Structure 1
């Protein structure tokens, strides 16, 4: 392991393919299947199939080139916009969307999504449905007040964020500032879905150690409350593996409505 200074996700070179192979692949020895794959997918399926999160426009802002949590939303939202802070992650996501040679294979995730829905035979259809629903994959920058400047996006009915907040935030103030910018992407009454690592300080990607802002469940809920969100669903799962590639203690999924 690299014992030097931690790298920052959106400031340094982030190997998006190595991240996917380590934390999201279908390899038999992949230690993170329960946490990084099944946990967000199962909870997304529950929230979106329950019917209280609806709309037309969904904006996703997640770490790396993750898309597996979006299989549960493509039945609901006709316009999915994916934002990326890292050009390699942008390219990796676009390669999958456009079915280009060498794209990461998400078949195992789409198979799990259709299994959750009770229609396991329709895996390929689910894959194509999500690709069709994704209208744009664009770059963003949290140094700007409007993170998609010069592009002005329509206010979203839902914003999904998997693993991004702890990757880009240096400390509590930075987290609050980043969360406020994400909140501005949402219409009043819209829903924010956050999936994050609890009590983590680093994440290994290849041989590189990346910074993770360390926070707990109480901090996360208080941050949402301070910005006018009302949590309506929360799930926490303790780390299910002994891997030292990250020191997180648990995974957290929270759905919150923007009250104002």
Structure 2
């Protein structure tokens, strides 16, 4: 399964953000056998809109932004949904220089997820269960938002519902994944508690997820930590900066638990430019 927390972070009062932290373990739902320890569950979803240029074609870029997308549950559903939505939402056209709102984007994503969920559950039943979240900054209302998509019962049928959190405040969060009651309690206590050395309250959910990854009594949560930040500037995935030997200065960059060696850091003359957190 999965553990994902999205929370409001106001370290910068002028530019508040939504942070996200997740584990990277993917397990077989029926047996619990670990399939991947470097499973990607957090993604940037680009929203690109074009308007007509002087030649009459939709060649002028009128809007470019990115928001976060994450999922828990059935990996095939979650990853296929993202891979399907990415080309659709990055190829929008409008004659008016339209700025898509998070509400409009969420409505579209919800419609798509409902249809693919209905198709898949007709084949595999309860094994299709998954949940997802869309989160980031809305330029229309100038506020951060989280839209949570999850299965719910309606008239005796299992359907994919949606709920929205707008105008986030300190201490607010959204959890997706395994051990919901336990994790919600831990996250609530962490965000309302006191800071510890090296663990500021504004980043505390990150450490809650990390502690669960390290906890062998929670075998469905594991792998390594993956992080990202959504703001008015877009969505930014983060790498981790880890000490080669604890207590010594030498360090390395890691993404999804995999060291970014020289071969994985360079693309020709370019370099992977991930920001990284220790």
Give the TM-score, by structure 2 length.
Answer: 0.29
Q: TM-score, normalised by structure 1?
A: 0.30
Structure (1/2) with the larger helix percentage = 1
